[in-house]
Amino acid sequence: MKLSLRGTFLIALLLVASAFGQENVAKNEKLKRDSTGIDSQSVSSLRSFEAEALREELENLRSQVEGMNESYLETKGTVDALKKIKVSGYLQTQFQTAETAGQNPFAGGNFPANVKQRFSVRRGRLKANYDNDITQFVIQTDITQAGVVVKDAYAQFTEPWLKTFALTGGIFNRPFGFEIEYSSSNRESPERSRLFQTLFPGERDLGAKLTITPQSKELSFLKLDLGLLNGTGPTANDFDSHKDFIGHLTMQFPLPQHGFALDIGGSTYLGGVREAGSVVYKNVGVLPNGAKGFLKDSSTANIGAAADRNYFGVDAQLYYDLPILGGLTLRGEYITGKQTGTFSSTTSPTAQPSEIVMRNFNGAYFYYIQNIGLSQQFVLKYDFYDPNTDADVTNIGAPGSNFSTGDIKFSTLGIGWVYHWDANIKLIAYYDIVKNEKIHPLASGNLVPFRSDLKDNVLTLRVQYKF
């Protein structure tokens, strides 16, 4: 077939266009490869590689998160344990001035023979309490210029079912009355009454205690403490096998609708002191010389027997919110019983006494505390201790009598002002007016000073820091 010139030209033009198009496609493919570095055949391989890398990165991130979680749980466990530990304490530093040197007004220890003014650290307490809900561990030390002593060291377990019965073992406050267990950091007077300092020196003892606090609404006002103790105090080793029983029942009656609350309690202490020899002075009567005094009992049955330490007490605290002035507190306690001591002292023995003298006694204290606003308190306190209710001023010191300094009655009137500077600092100014019985005018020897009232009043100025 013959093509015309025009047809031949069109065919040539089509061939040129086709070749140019293929060249452009090749150029575009080359440009795509140059810009991405990946040709279309490598896309699936690239995507597979990226997915694997992402999985590895996520796995590493998960491992890091799990490690952080383990570290958090460990830290949380440590923090939770530390939250169970409570550290508290207080420091009482004070200045005192007495009427005369060498007196013992029961205001923080004897004044030395040539001292009637002194600075001292009365108490420096540091207490750690580990509270694990139904179990507790407590240890408290007292740090003063006299040294370091242990005040509390006990463990307590509360049964987990009713949470009514708690058992305590170690060194702890004797559960007798109110004033013993009322903390010295809260007490409005600088010291406990002479009565308690004599019967319960150191306040604490070694032993075990069962505390019953019913959780039911009907009986929640009751609390009963029952203890079995060495009877020799917190720092002395026992010197006999006799153990002392102690008990305190408390009843609380809050009446907020009437603006007051009333707490009452009853206490008992049944104990004894070993009689090392056969000679014991148990009773008061008429001596062979006609004077009144202690009668000697020389029975061999006395050897190894227990001389009585039996106390019975009642206590009450009334709280009333007075309009305008503030809260008012009336507090009192009375104790009577039989105490074993020596001729010169009725302080409960911490070691085997060389002589045994038993006395009938009684004593009490009464507080009137008036809050003035939110930061100040006026304090009025009266206490007395009669170590021998079978003796009086007509026969103590009388010729032929064997009554002694251990039989003299003392009373103390305390007047004080308390100022709470802030939540930590408390300031106390307190004056003790101490009176003793004026005994028989013919008294001789170490009884002569008691023919008149001793000059043993004392002023205490105290700063307390508590945290």
Helix/strand/coil for 54: helix
Please, which residues bridge with residue 458 across strands? Answer: 98, 432
> What CA–CA distance (Å, rounded) separates 406 from 394?
15
Whether pLDDT at 285 is above 90 = yes
Whether pLDDT at 29 is above 90 = no
Whether pLDDT at 12 is above 60 = no
Helix ranges (H only) for 39-165 are: 43-83
pLDDT in tens, 172-219: 999 999 999 999 999 999 999 999 999 999 999 999 999 999 999 999
Instruction: Tell me how far the alpha carbon of residue 133 is from its chain's centroid.
Output: 17
Mean pLDDT of the region 323-347: 95
Same domain for 298 and 428, yes or no, is: yes
Helix/strand/coil for 210: strand
Q: What integer pLDDT is reported at residue 22 of this predicted model?
A: 52
Cα-Cα-Cα-Cα dihedral sign, residues 438, 443, 447, 452: positive
Residue 241 is given by DSSP the state: S
368 domain residue, yes or no: yes
Helix ranges (H only) for 177-282 are: 194-199
pLDDT in tens, 116-132: 999 999 999 999 999 99
- Please tell me the least confidently modeled range out of 28-32, 138-142, 395-399: 28-32
Domain that holds residue 166: 90-466
Whether pLDDT at 33 is above 70 = no
Q: What percent of the chain has pLDDT over 90?
A: 78
178 domain residue, yes or no: yes
142's CB contacts (< 8 A; 6+ apart) are 123, 124, 125, 148, 149, 150, 151
Q: What integer pLDDT is reported at residue 43 of this predicted model?
A: 56
pLDDT in tens, 51-96: 777 787 778 877 777 777 777 777 877 788 788 999 999 999 999 9
Same domain for 226 and 314, yes or no, is: yes
Question: Structure pTM?
Answer: 0.84
Q: What integer pLDDT is reported at residue 16 of this predicted model?
A: 45
Q: What percent of the chain has pLDDT over 70?
A: 90
Whether pLDDT at 13 is above 70 = no
Same domain for 351 and 454, yes or no, is: yes
Counting the structural domains of the chain, the total is 2
Q: What integer pLDDT is reported at residue 45 of this predicted model?
A: 66
Distances (CA, A) of 354 to 185, 310, 344: 37, 20, 12
Helix/strand/coil for 38: coil
77 domain residue, yes or no: no
Same domain for 179 and 61, yes or no, is: no
Q: What integer pLDDT is reported at residue 17 of this predicted model?
A: 47
79 domain residue, yes or no: no
Q: What integer pLDDT is reported at residue 326 of this predicted model?
A: 87
Same domain for 171 and 129, yes or no, is: yes
Same domain for 24 and 116, yes or no, is: no
Cβ–Cβ < 8 Å for 105, 432: yes
Residue 220 is given by DSSP the state: T
* CATH number of 415's domain: 2.40.160.10
Same domain for 16 and 140, yes or no, is: no
Nearest residue to 193 via CA among 386, 376, 451, 461: 386
Same domain for 285 and 317, yes or no, is: yes
Same domain for 97 and 164, yes or no, is: yes
Same domain for 56 and 178, yes or no, is: no
387 domain residue, yes or no: yes
Same domain for 328 and 445, yes or no, is: yes
85 domain residue, yes or no: no
Cβ–Cβ < 8 Å for 368, 319: no
Same domain for 149 and 57, yes or no, is: no
Whether pLDDT at 28 is above 70 = no
Nearest residue to 107 via CA among 434, 455, 437, 450: 434
34's CB contacts (< 8 A; 6+ apart) are none
The amino acid at residue 47 is R
